[in-house]
A and B are shown apart, each in its own frame.
Chain A
């Protein structure tokens, strides 16, 4: 089909997603949930790019495959050209290990969803942002190019980075957060919480705080401490008799949540979740979440923002006053509504119906 044929039907726009389908974590889950909504707005194409980040194979994250099968959308690998009214490219960081994006993009609107923080806490670059954006810029012909941050914290890293960059004038930043849809089933909290703590994440070093903080968060006197995704701790033989260390994917996430009442989640201070899907899952599972203040910015009062030394005090208070535990879970779960598919639908509608800025 000629490229510009697709740009002429405003009532049923053509929407093309460009993704690296081999991301195993939040990016693929977010895209999967989003495709279910986006399909309602137009003719949907999904393009996969084999980037150097993941090598040559054509693996597809299971969560994505399920949705694509369900929607009967074929995944098109490495198309030389993608033309659509709206091209939505998810997570530009997949381009960080290469110099060129070999897919030409023709679009009225090109939206780049910034799943990864452009800057790390302290201001160091999270990845080679210039290179990734320049590759997209060099491959794309579009009326408008926008960056779509996924959370308040992520937005701050994007705008701070743009403020110091010469490529800032090429890119707009969308006003509303392109949040992850969180539609996990809501579970009721337990009746009587006990000091059963845990955390779950991928095993990377960025996901874990210093050992001293980990010891503070998961102390000997807790009834239980379950760490799922503890591969690095196991490899380095960092063992404590009062810790239950489980490798990533050793048990199902719902099984893990059954083992805890408090989700205590701190990361390396030099890294920050851009959205924190794992937090949303814990909230949906009816757990009280204790985490740092920057995550708190995304989830507001749905989480208890604190520092590792404060964890013990907060947990003992909530165990002593179960009604406060229930209040906190209730407050958290109502906040999850902000990340519903319905809200995303409304936001996507706004984006797709926005004036292109070009008079007819």
Chain B
């Protein structure tokens, strides 16, 4: 393992460690950082970035050690080096920008005292006489790409605002126009204050990244043209981004007041000092000429001064051949876990519709794993979020690590969920994945749509599984990448004999004969507590001696103990809820996407009790659409008192037959799983 150490501990030096660690890792070296270096105020982005590198040093043997920022060495570093008891053959390379010969000698001596032997100390002021950022702890090196970078059909232009003030409203308006024009994708890299200003403006839909949202390497990989504004270079991460991009054959345009990039001798273009002229400059001079510009840049001697292989050679490291672990393409489905298992079930339906030559795998939270595996699909278990005030992102960081380990360059990721987690966003960009977002609609009123859609741009396709009725299909975003497909749900076929057989088995299993079977499926437990409603239903069915009431939940769901106290009511935890519903005389259900579609397409008479938690879809609208067509009864929060009357109407007065006949008569759209699978299949070879 190669340890990346820092002369002293700070956010600045931690950034340097992260940048260099990621670069070496990308070159095929096993790299780590002692977890003790993680600063308390690292912030969310850095923690994700660091997660793959942080280790307990006692668990790894050092193959080589790099010390960054050797111009400022503190006792913590020396103690850590001494404690590692590094073998005599392990190279120790220290880099620093030494202002005086004494600071060089002093650093060398201090390292030697801790190591008991001499380290190789590289003075970056010799190595890089005109550094992009002379104050950087990072060595600011990069892998020089031997071949030109292939031009993308739609290049991404990343604009770093730097110290630019956003007090002129025309500035954001200008960026907004650029963002909406064809020819290139625009992305802004902004500070926290700039981000707040953008969010508070009418241009809050501008695609932005904070400085620590993505690593320098990922920014460079996903950028074709970098434009830098402001005064000077906005920190080491941006300096490293620029160096990475130039070394990778991208185009860098220096629009800073002080020509900060140009003055370092880097092969960059001098651009307009104001964003108002940028679009014209890009379209008139840059787009269409990027290959020639990059070719000229590749001839620059400056590249030699940032060549990472010089540092590797000093450590005796030879880059490993970076062969992919797998030679076959993989499609990974990641369903989020909402209230129930709807996302996982929908994803499994799509996965089963994929062409035979596509290999799919799931990564899913524990509650979903059995559901996926019983479909015969392999599944990587993830860790559910738990309430930890000190690290609310902990489980998503684990998800990020597991997704990162399961996927390699150009694989496909299919994410089914509402909120695009950091793990998903990052792994798509880092692995250059073909990405598909399965995004069910019918968002509740008041949900901040812009926030939900902020990361849509990272997906190659958005698949919107439709609702059954047109008035429920709201559009949230537009473009060729958004595909509306028919409703996606699990189809179950049950013959009359099978239905009778199931009812007979239920009677035997629960030791009582029944004429009427009622199934209640009010959803899991996290969204809203439905125990009062279940108790009410159980109570009103308790006196019906010819009735069996099943409370059906997903395996693993929490069930209130009181539910078990009824004679006529039994709790069933099963993945086969649809079969039970098909066997039932009446279903009382929440109005989630899957439940409603299954009720509709299987023509099951039902009373819908929509849930209304703020982060759920708008179940009431969905239920109302069915009720308006006399396809079901509806009981909303405001008229729960009507529940008993409605149940009675269904069970005692043949109201279910009214629904059944309406259900049989209604024309429904064609199911969309096959089309969704086709879209996922199309996208896999695009990268």
Q: A residues engaging B (CB < 8 A)?
A: 96-97, 120, 122, 124-128, 130-131, 204-206, 208-212, 232, 235-236, 238, 268-271
**Interface status of B559 (Cβ within 8 A of chain A):** no
> Is B117 interfacial (CB 8 A cutoff)?
yes
How far apart are B541's CB and chain A's nearest CB, in angstroms? 66
Interface window among B101-109, B188-196, B238-246, B329-337 = B101-109
A131 near B112 with CB under 8 A, answer no
Listed by A's residue number, 14 A-B pairs whose Cβ atoms lie within 8 Å are A124-B105, A124-B108, A128-B100, A130-B101, A131-B100, A206-B109, A206-B113, A211-B83, A232-B79, A236-B79, A236-B80, A270-B116, A270-B118, A271-B113
Residues of B within 8 A of A235 (CB): 75, 79
Question: Could you tell me if B102 and A212 are in contact, using CB atoms closer than 8 angstroms?
Answer: no
A131 to B113 Cα, complex, angstroms: 22
Name the residue on A nearest B106 (C-beta): A127
Q: Which residues of B contact A122 (CB under 8 A)?
A: 112, 117-118
Q: Are B79 and A96 in contact (CB under 8 A)?
A: no
Q: Which residues of A contact B102 (CB under 8 A)?
A: 96-97, 127-128, 131
Closest chain B CB from A150 CB (angstroms): 19
Q: Which single residue of chain B is at the shortest CB-CB distance from A99?
A: B100
* Known A96-B106, A204-B113; 14 more pairs at CB < 8 Å: A97-B100, A124-B108, A125-B105, A128-B101, A130-B101, A206-B113, A210-B82, A211-B82, A238-B83, A269-B117, A270-B112, A270-B113, A270-B118, A271-B109
Among B83, B100, B101, B116, chain A packs the most CB atoms within 10 A around the CB of B116
A98-B77 Cα distance, complex, nearest whole Å? 26
> Which residues of B are at the interface with A, using a C-beta cutoff of 8 A?
75, 78-80, 82-83, 85, 100-102, 105-106, 108-110, 112-118
Nearest residue (CB) in B for A271 is B113
A209–B114 alpha-carbon span in the complex (Å): 9
* Complex alpha-carbon distance, A209 and B117, angstroms: 11
Inter-chain CA distance A235–B113, complex, in Å, is: 17
Check A127–B105 contact: CB distance below 8 A: yes
Q: Are B109 and A269 in contact (CB under 8 A)?
A: no
Assess whether A210 is in contact with B85, with CB atoms less than 8 Å apart: yes
Contact B113 A236 (CB under 8 A): no
Q: How far is the CA of A122 from the CA of B118 in the complex (A)?
A: 9
Q: Find the A residue at minimum CB distance from B78.
A: A205
A97, A205, A269: the one contacting B110 at CB < 8 Å is A205
A-B contact count (CB 8 A): 75
Alpha-carbon gap, A268 to B111, bound state (A):
11
Nearest Cβ on chain B to A36's Cβ, whole angstroms: 33
Chain B residues near A127 (CB, 8 Å)? 102, 105-106, 109
Q: Which residue of B lies closest to A95 (CB)?
A: B102
Q: Are A270 and B101 in contact (CB under 8 A)?
A: no
Contact A271 B112 (CB under 8 A): yes
Cα separation A125 to B104 with both chains bound (whole Å): 10
Q: Which of B78, B82, B108, B114 has the most CB of A within 10 A?
A: B82
Q: Which residues of B lie under 8 Å from residue A269 when comparing CB positions?
A: 116-117
How many angstroms from the CA of A212 to the CA of B106 in the assembled complex? 25
Q: Tell me the smallest distance from the CB of A195 to a CB of chain B, in Å.
A: 26
B109 near A124: Cβ-Cβ < 8 Å? yes
How far in angstroms is the closest Cβ of chain A from B113? 4
* Structural contact, A232 and B75, CB atoms closer than 8 A: yes
CB within 8 A of B85: which of A206, A212, A236? A212
Does B117 lie within 8 Å of A205, measured CB to CB? no
Contact, CB under 8 Å: B82 / A205: yes
CA distance A127 to B101 in the complex (A): 9
Q: Given the known A-B contacts A205-B75, A205-B82, are A128 and B105 also in contact in the complex, defined by CB atoms under 8 Å?
A: yes
**B668 → chain A closest CB, angstroms:** 69
Residue among B102, B112, B114, B117 facing the most chain A CB atoms (10 A cut-off): B102
Docked Cα-Cα span, A202 to B109, in Å, equals: 17
User: What residues on B are CB-neighbors of A210 within 8 Å?
Assistant: 82, 85, 116
* Minimum Cβ distance to chain B for residue A293 (Å): 16
Q: A131-B101, A205-B75, A236-B82 are in contact. Are A124 and B116 (CB under 8 A)?
A: no
Contact of A124 with B118 in the complex, beta carbons under 8 Å: yes
A22 to B113, CA, bound (A): 23
Bound Cα distance A195, B279 (Å): 82
Write out the residue numbers on chain B whose beta carbons fall within 8 Å of the beta carbon of A271: 109, 112-113
- Residues in B with CB closer than 8 Å to A212 are 85
Residues of B within 8 A of A124 (CB): 105, 108-109, 112, 118
Query: Which chain A residues border B116 with CB–CB below 8 Å?
Result: 209-210, 268-270
State the CA gap A204–B110 with chains docked (Å): 9
* In the A-B complex, the 10 residue pairs with the closest CB atoms: A236-B79, A270-B112, A128-B102, A206-B113, A205-B113, A268-B113, A96-B102, A128-B101, A205-B78, A210-B116
Partner of A236, one of B83, B101, B112: B83
Question: Are A270 and B82 interface neighbours, CB within 8 A?
Answer: no
Assembly CA distance A205 to B114 (angstroms): 6
CB <8 Å contact, B75 and A270: no
Partner of A211, one of B78, B85, B100, B106: B85
How far is the CB of B16 from the nearest CB of chain A, in Å? 23
Q: How far is the CA of A206 from the CA of B110 in the complex (A)?
A: 8
Q: How far is the CB of A68 from chain B (nearest CB, A)?
A: 29
Q: Which residues of B contact A236 (CB under 8 A)?
A: 79-80, 82-83
Minimum CB–CB distance for A192 against chain B, Å = 36
What's the nearest-Cβ distance from chain A to residue B596, in Å?
Answer: 60
Bound complex: CA A70 to CA B100 (Å): 40
- Nearest chain A CB to B82 CB, angstrom units: 6
Q: Which residues of B contact A206 (CB under 8 A)?
A: 109, 113
State A120–B118 Cα separation when bound (angstroms).
Answer: 10
CB distance from B49 to the nearest CB of A (A): 27
CA distance A212 to B84 in the complex (A): 11
Q: Are B112 and A120 in contact (CB under 8 A)?
A: yes
CA distance A269 to B114 in the complex (A): 10
CB closest residue in chain B, given A97: B102
Distance, CA A212 to CA B88, complexed state (A): 13
The CA of A88 and the CA of B32, in the complex, are separated in Å by 52
Cα of A124 to Cα of B120 in the assembled complex, Å: 12
Expressed in whole angstroms, the Cα–Cα distance for A212 and B79 within the complex equals 14
Q: Complex formed: what's the CA distance from A232 to B78 in Å?
A: 9
Query: What is the chain A residue whose CB lies nearest that of B115?
Result: A270
Shortest distance from the beta carbon of A16 to any chain B beta carbon, whole Å:
26
Which residue of chain B is the closest to A121 with respect to CB atoms? B112
Nearest residue, chain B, Cβ from A205? B113
Q: Which residues of B contact A209 (CB under 8 A)?
A: 116
B108: nearest residue on chain A (CB-CB)? A124
The distance in angstroms between the C-alpha atoms of A204 and B80, with both chains bound, is 14
A268 and B119 alpha carbons, distance in the complex (Å): 14
Q: Which residue of B lies closest to A130 (CB)?
A: B101
CA distance A321 to B666 in the complex (A): 109
The answer for the CA separation of A17 and B79 in the assembled complex, in Å, is: 38
Instruction: Give, as a whole number of angstroms, the nearest-CB distance from A193 to chain B.
Output: 30
- Bound-complex Cα distance A211 to B102 (A): 28
A294 to chain B, nearest CB (A): 15
Contacts of B79 in A (CB 8 A): 205, 232, 235-236, 238
Q: How far is the CA of A120 from the CA of B101 in the complex (A)?
A: 16
Contacts of A125 in B (CB 8 A): 105
- Chain B residue numbers with a CB within 8 Å of A131 are 100-102
Distance (whole angstroms) from the CB of A270 to the closest CB of chain B: 4
A36 to B106, CA, bound (A): 34
If A120-B109, A131-B102 touch, whether A270 touches B83 (CB-CB below 8 Å) is no
Q: Which residues of B contact A126 (CB under 8 A)?
A: 105, 109
Q: Which of B100, B106, B108, B112 contacts A268 (CB 8 A)?
A: B112
Shortest C-beta distance, A231 to chain B (Å), equals 9
**Neighbouring B residues of A208 by C-beta, 8 Å:** 82
CB distance from A122 to the nearest CB of B (A): 6
B82 contacts across to A, CB distance below 8 A = 205, 208, 210-211, 236
How far apart are the CA atoms of A332 and B82 in the complex, in Å?
A: 33
The complex places the Cα of A219 from the Cα of B109 at a distance, in Å, of 28
On chain B, the residues within 8 Å of A128 by CB distance are: 100-102, 105
A residues near B78, Cβ cutoff 8 Å: 205, 232
